[in-house]
Structure formats: C-alpha cells, structure tokens
C-alpha cells in the first residue's frame, strides 16, 4: 500500500482499530461523513473513558508520535482526577494532541463523556474508508453534542443536519 498519500487520520484509525481502542468520531469529520459539506481542520473523538481504554489510546498516540498540546505528559490524561481538575479549573472540554510531523493537524478528545459512551455506542453508524471501519456518532447524538457546545458554528451544524434529515426523509417518501 502506498503510504505517501494517506490522510493523517488513516494511520490513527488503523492503529486504534488494531489495538482495540473504543472511540467514536464526532465533530466536523462526523458531519462530513454523514453528508454535510463543511470544512474542518481537526479530528474530534469521544473515547470510552475506562482506564484500560485510555491506556490503549495513549499507547497508540505515543507510537504514532503524537504529544499533548498542553504542557503535561500524555499519561496524565489517563487519570480521572487530572481530567476533572482540568475541566473545573481551566474549563477544558477537549484535550488536544499534535504530531511534530504535522503540527497543524490536531486530534481533540473529550476529557469526559458528555454523553454516556454506552448510549452513543448503541447507535454508532459504521462507515467504510478503504479497508478501515470507522465508528461515527449518530446524527441524533451529534446534534445533542452540538446543542451542548452551542457555539455559532455548532448551531449552524445543527441546522445543516436537520436539513439533511429532511432531504433523506423526502427521498425515502419518494421511493
């Protein structure tokens, strides 16, 4: 397989899937995969927050050459008390990683489960990209996350998702 033309996220998803990291794609990439045309610069993920899963996640990130954007060790993310403190004291909602090879490409992960991962997992929408299987948050749960964030872009994203749902509903009525 030619590696030179790969998207930065391909190597991440490949590694996560191989190592059994429980994750779901959220944010702008999820919107695009669901069919909303939108520019996005980063990759947003929600993880199942068990210590075992976070250890697998951090191991993958280190193996791929990713480092925390914040001045802490990657392993600090595993500790629930650290994440809780960052959220309460710094208002941190996501923890960002970057690669020295591609410092402009960020991977953001929620510091907690804004929606229970078990609930999200029940409605995962699976997409295929080449030989990769990608777990993507459902439109219903994506809209909930967007409502929680409530930034102008998130509100525009909700409108785009609702328009997409109407289009699909109309297409289904026509068949």
* pLDDT digit string (tens) for the chain, length 175 residues: 334 455 668 899 999 999 999 999 999 999 999 998 887 878 999 999 999 999 999 999 999 999 999 999 999 999 999 999 999 999 999 999 999 888 888 999 999 999 999 999 999 999 998 889 999 999 999 999 999 998 999 999 999 999 998 888 888 877 6
Look at phi and psi of residue 128 and say left if phi exceeds 0, alpha if psi is from -120 to 50, else beta. beta
Which pLDDT value is given to residue 2? 39
Which pLDDT value is given to residue 175? 62
- Contacts with 87 (C-beta within 8 Å, 6 or more apart), sequence order: 93, 111, 112
- The side-by-side arrangement of strands in the sheet containing 23-26 is 66-68, 94-99, 106-110, 43-47, 23-26, 132-136, 125-129
Closest-CA residue to 24 (of 153, 110, 101): 110
Which pLDDT value is given to residue 130? 84
Class of CATH domain 8-163: alpha beta
């Amino acid at each position: 397989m030619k590696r030179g033309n790969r998207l930065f996220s391909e190597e991440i998803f490949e590694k996560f899937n191989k190592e059994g990291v429980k994750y779901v794609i959220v944010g702008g990439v999820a919107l695009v995969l669901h069919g909303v045309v939108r520019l996005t610069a980063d990759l947003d993920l929600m993880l199942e927050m068990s210590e075992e899963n976070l250890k697998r996640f951090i191991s993958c990130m280190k193996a791929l050459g990713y480092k925390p954007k914040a001045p802490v060790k990657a392993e600090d993310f595993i500790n629930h008390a650290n994440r809780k403190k960052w959220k309460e004291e710094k208002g941190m909602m996501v923890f960002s990683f970057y690669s020295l090879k591609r410092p402009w490409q960020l991977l953001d992960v929620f510091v907690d489960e804004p929606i229970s991962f078990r609930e999200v997992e029940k409605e995962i929408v699976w997409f295929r990209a080449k030989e990769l299987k990608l777990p993507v948050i459902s439109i219903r749960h994506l809209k909930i996350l967007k409502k929680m964030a409530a930034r102008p872009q998130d509100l525009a994203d909700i409108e785009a998702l609702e328009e997409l749902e109407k289009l699909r509903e109309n297409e289904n009525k026509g068949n």
